[in-house]
Structure 1
């Protein structure tokens, strides 16, 4: 708003689902990151669309009791976290309210347990993706996107969500890039070579991956020097890759992967199994809480030795394989063919002949899978943030399983999806939220539903 920007005093009333404070002043509705309910704050207007105003907090005049000093030096400008200023028990309460309110809005009733948090909610991420930016003197550097301005990059001089040592590659790559005179990629002009740096770690195995992402080029400048420096400077390095991205978009698109040193993938353990993780592989970024999520889902599912089970949106079989150890038959369905092949390989290695996997859309393959099983007692689903959708949920209802376990990463789509299943004669028996992403507004939820026999 430039010269027209004005300062106002507000009392924050609530947090929205992204963790931003909400306040009203007359007919205007303000949204301000970095604030908490009950606080009186001085705010600068940054952007206005009619009566909806984005504000930037200038001063906290009256802090909330649960306000804490954010320990990260990049907090605020960096778009990675939005709740570091809220004490951790307050974060868990906020996430619990998100689940409660989303289910209430959908008209879904059921007992909601307290959120399962972390004893140590720092250093939990096993994957980081950093973007190249350009300093005022033209020197390339690595960092994270600035909040609200995705074309700008905040330098990453440490990240408190990353385990110690995972960022060791950053200064090495920055020095190499500066010495070679390489240009960061500009998504507006599509010029430049350096795009991103992906860092992955197997928390249980100690294996680390460094993947440099660039625009296409016939060769990588001073490849031998870069490899030598990273091998010396990154403890546990097991995979060093050069990834070529030929897309004009700022989002990562892998067109080629060149192995510079080590293996093409690292390994991680979850639920007693080893998973192969490539540069593009999906894997929960918080291994410790992923273990709790797996244990919670299995406990709520209560698979029995005679059960026929469907695992929808099964990925690499994270839930399918332990279910197969406890049930008679399991079929997993997943759209991504690579993930299905990985799941099949893991099942063969484990000697699980009662686990099968189908590649394709869940809504199309679900009836076929039920027919193959000759009926189903248990259905577990772990859909993406967009949810499973009404068609899938109604097909689940028509399959008439005794139990349904829904693993959700989005309370809003969870509530919407459950409204399509409940009319088929189901009730919510248990709701267990988990915190997989401390200091962010995201919350995972596991819901068990049981078929009411009288309804059938």
Structure 2
């Protein structure tokens, strides 16, 4: 009787990569996705899932490797859910990301030169924020790590992670030891039982300040709080903030119901563009400080701000771009949905003496027309929307506001292209593009596009 497993083995030639960096091949009428495979390679794989003519495959072995293939250095590569491009050498990663941007713009009908992606000289240890989950290890009890690929309720050990700084990862062993010593168990999101949920680690690269935040289910008191303070302070240099965060929500997403400072301050600080930004547990801040500096410099270069400009900064967060532009322009108004971020931006503007900067809290699509009218003329619109994009309504309202220049900062080339389709009919032309790698060894790429109004 023939071996069914052997019959399922597919011998495939990889034709390209999709937007997630997954290898693509054809087999009859089927389109096959093979994680870990590279263009030009001949591989053996087996089907894992099928949906109509789309097959999700599992790589068995590489028969003919591509010249760009390298040995992934991380001991958890393939198990951990992150860093899925470690098997592709870094220059080839940058070339792949450039193609992603070019293809997304081409689908929007934009033909423009896309220079080489601005990469990192050292693409390891770059993250200033690490989120770890507690899980149960049958051999030793509680363990901290990253979600296992395809099995979100299991964790892969954090030790050996190459994109996290070792000064932050030093907290992992200390917290695990404290949890084991006090008999504490991991929270299970399937049954909503257990106590220890996540460990959030943050650092200010420019300031050297570090935060360790323990997130748990609800409790009146934290067992062994003094022992935790002692254990963490002993191994984490520059510790400024040790927090106990209570999250009583059933889901895995971070929801802060209560914060107790166990040691130091409630926030750390990071420096960017000459300003110091407070970074709390829930604060959004770019996770790659070095590339965030380059991103800010790129935005300022493409904005070409003038002293007479009225500027709208949409999806402004804590005001990073608006505050950097403030000394260079007549007036700037930032709009952001998250109230806490707006309050932070207002405090920073006041501390810096930027009286020409205002920040509004609410939906961009609702506040944009009023903010534009209040400026007495919009010369420049800057927007940095989430991965889902700004959306057609916002883009059309930008078109109706008729700024002379638009600078769009995107973390998703696909939604960037979709958004541009709504703006181009208002007489805009893309004339400059820059792409930056803020997340080496992943398929993600940051894109900055400058548009000018040439008429309608």
Question: Which TM-score band (shorter chain)?
Answer: over 0.9
Distance in 2 (alpha carbons) for counterparts of 1:263 and 1:344: 21
Residue aligned with 2:332, SS: strand
Residues 231-270 of structure 1 aligned to structure 2 (within 5 Å): 231-270=233-272
CA RMSD across the alignment? 1.3
Question: Does the 8 Å contact 1:213/1:245 carry over to 2?
Answer: yes
Distance in 2 (alpha carbons) for counterparts of 1:45 and 1:370: 54
Unmatched runs of 5 consecutive residues or more in structure 1: none
Compute the displacement of 1:158 (Å): 2.1
Q: Deviations over 1:32-52 (max 9, x none)?
A: 111100111111222223332
Q: Deviations over 1:202-254 (max 9, x none)?
A: 00000000001111112111111111111111111110001111011122221
Question: Does the 8 Å contact 1:5/1:44 carry over to 2?
Answer: no
Residues 147-226 of structure 1 aligned to structure 2 (within 5 Å): 147-226=149-228
Q: Deviations over 1:381-428 (max 9, x none)?
A: 111111111111111111111100000011011001111111111100
Q: List, as ranges, runs of 4+ consecutive aligned residues in structure 1 with deviation greater than 4 Å.
A: 2-5
Residue matched to 1:126: 128
Q: Do structure 1's residue 280 and structure 2's residue 282 form an aligned pair?
A: yes
Residue aligned with 1:186, SS: coil
What is the TM-score normalised by the length of structure 1?
0.97
Question: Does the 8 Å contact 1:201/1:207 carry over to 2?
Answer: yes
Q: Do structure 1's residue 46 and structure 2's residue 48 form an aligned pair?
A: yes
Distance in 1 (alpha carbons) for counterparts of 2:400 and 2:52: 46
Question: Does the 8 Å contact 1:130/1:196 carry over to 2?
Answer: yes
Q: Deviations over 1:108-145 (max 9, x none)?
A: 22222211111111110000000111112361101101
Which of these residues, 349, 352, 359, is aligned with residue 350 of structure 1?
A: 352
Residues 100-119 of structure 1 aligned to structure 2 (within 5 Å): 100-119=102-121
Distance in 2 (alpha carbons) for counterparts of 1:185 and 1:367: 46
Residues 322-401 of structure 1 aligned to structure 2 (within 5 Å): 322-401=324-403
Distance in 2 (alpha carbons) for counterparts of 1:135 and 1:5: 36
Distance in 2 (alpha carbons) for counterparts of 1:432 and 1:286: 17
Residue aligned with 1:290, SS: helix
Residue aligned with 2:166, SS: coil
Residue matched to 2:67: 65
Q: Do structure 1's residue 306 and structure 2's residue 288 form an aligned pair?
A: no
Which of these residues, 25, 28, 34, is aligned with residue 26 of structure 1?
A: 28
Which of these residues, 442, 446, 449, is aligned with residue 448 of structure 2?
A: 446
Distance in 2 (alpha carbons) for counterparts of 1:162 and 1:156: 9
Compute the displacement of 1:5 (Å): 8.8
Distance in 1 (alpha carbons) for counterparts of 2:407 and 2:389: 14
Distance in 2 (alpha carbons) for counterparts of 1:31 and 1:104: 23
Residue matched to 2:414: 412
Residue aligned with 1:380, SS: strand
Residue aligned with 1:319, SS: helix
Q: Which shifted more, 86-95 or 105-114?
A: 105-114
Distance in 1 (alpha carbons) for counterparts of 2:203 and 2:8: 46
Distance in 2 (alpha carbons) for counterparts of 1:210 and 1:81: 23
Unmatched runs of 5 consecutive residues or more in structure 2: none
Distance in 1 (alpha carbons) for counterparts of 2:255 and 2:15: 41
Q: Deviations over 1:141-178 (max 9, x none)?
A: 01101112212211111211012311000001111111
Aligned length, in residue pairs? 453
Distance in 1 (alpha carbons) for counterparts of 2:110 and 2:150: 34
Distance in 2 (alpha carbons) for counterparts of 1:251 and 1:362: 24
Residue aligned with 2:118, SS: coil
Residue matched to 2:14: 12
Q: Deviations over 1:316-352 (max 9, x none)?
A: 1100011111001111111111111111111111111
Distance in 2 (alpha carbons) for counterparts of 1:26 and 1:109: 33
Distance in 1 (alpha carbons) for counterparts of 2:163 and 2:149: 17
Distance in 2 (alpha carbons) for counterparts of 1:34 and 1:160: 18
Residue aligned with 1:183, SS: coil
